[in-house]
């Protein structure tokens, strides 16, 4: 694997780690909000039970003394129940908003990470293609070099054979010339 491919792989891993961290953070905040909503619902349930108890007490005391005081307490309790219910609604709305925000942020981060990963994968494909093309060219070049080396070796062998033939011919020609000169000299000596 080339250095460029390793760097692309490192960048892809880093982007994926960041996306996972964002997802983990969003999940943690969503769980916290769910706990808050559960606590608010629990508080509302307790308040509703208290209201029911007071309602029963009010019914029992309707004929006796302290009815007006009890009704005042009942009205205050109902008012408090409405406040708790309103707070619960607001908390649920806020939880949904935060959940929507985190979901949107997570989707955006995931889309961005996927986009970067796709870009890096495309770059890797191009690099792999270029590498394969370079390997093919290298093989072709090496084949051509081998072929040229064989031709050079054949030409050197042919040249050596030609030199040997020329030296043999030169030697024969020299011998023939020497023999002819010798004959001529002997003929000249005989003629005298």
Domain ranges of the chain: 3-137
Instruction: From first to last of the 192 residues of the chain, give the pLDDT tens digit.
Output: 566 777 767 777 777 777 677 777 767 777 777 777 777 677 677 667 766 777 776 666 655 555 566 667 777 777 877 887 787 788 788 878 877 887 887 788 777 777 777 887 888 788 888 888 888 888 888 888 888 888 888 888 888 888 888 888 888 888 888 888 888 888 888 766
Local structure of 169: helix, strand or coil = helix
As a whole number of angstroms, the distance between CA 19 and CA 112 comes to 9
pLDDT in tens, 33-44: 777 777 767 767
Return all residues near 5 (Cβ < 8 A) that are at least 6 apart. 124, 127
Half-sphere exposure of 163 (CA within 13 A, CB side): 6
Q: What is the rounded CA–CA span in Å between residue 42 and residue 67?
A: 30
Q: Up-side HSE of residue 128: CA atoms within 13 Å toward CB?
A: 9
């Amino acid at each position: 694997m080339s250095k460029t491919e390793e760097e692309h792989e490192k960048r892809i891993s880093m982007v994926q780690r960041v996306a996972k961290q964002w997802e983990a953070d969003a999940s943690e905040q969503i769980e916290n909000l769910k706990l808050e909503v559960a606590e608010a619902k629990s508080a509302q349930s307790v308040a509703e039970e208290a209201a029911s108890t007071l309602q029963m007490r009010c019914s029992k005391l309707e004929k006796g003394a302290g009815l007006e005081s009890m009704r005042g307490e009942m009205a205050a309790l109902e008012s408090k129940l409405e406040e708790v219910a309103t707070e619960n609604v607001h908390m649920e709305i806020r939880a949904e908003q935060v959940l929507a925000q985190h979901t949107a942020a997570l989707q955006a981060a995931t889309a961005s990470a996927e986009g970067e990963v796709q870009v890096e994968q495309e770059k890797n494909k191009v690099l792999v293609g270029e590498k394969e093309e370079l390997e093919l060219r290298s093989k072709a070049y090496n084949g051509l070099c081998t072929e040229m080396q064989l031709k050079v070796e054949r030409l050197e062998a042919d040249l050596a054979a030609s030199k040997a033939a020329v030296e043999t011919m030169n030697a024969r020609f020299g011998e023939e010339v020497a023999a002819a000169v010798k004959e001529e000299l002997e003929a000249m000596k005989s003629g005298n």
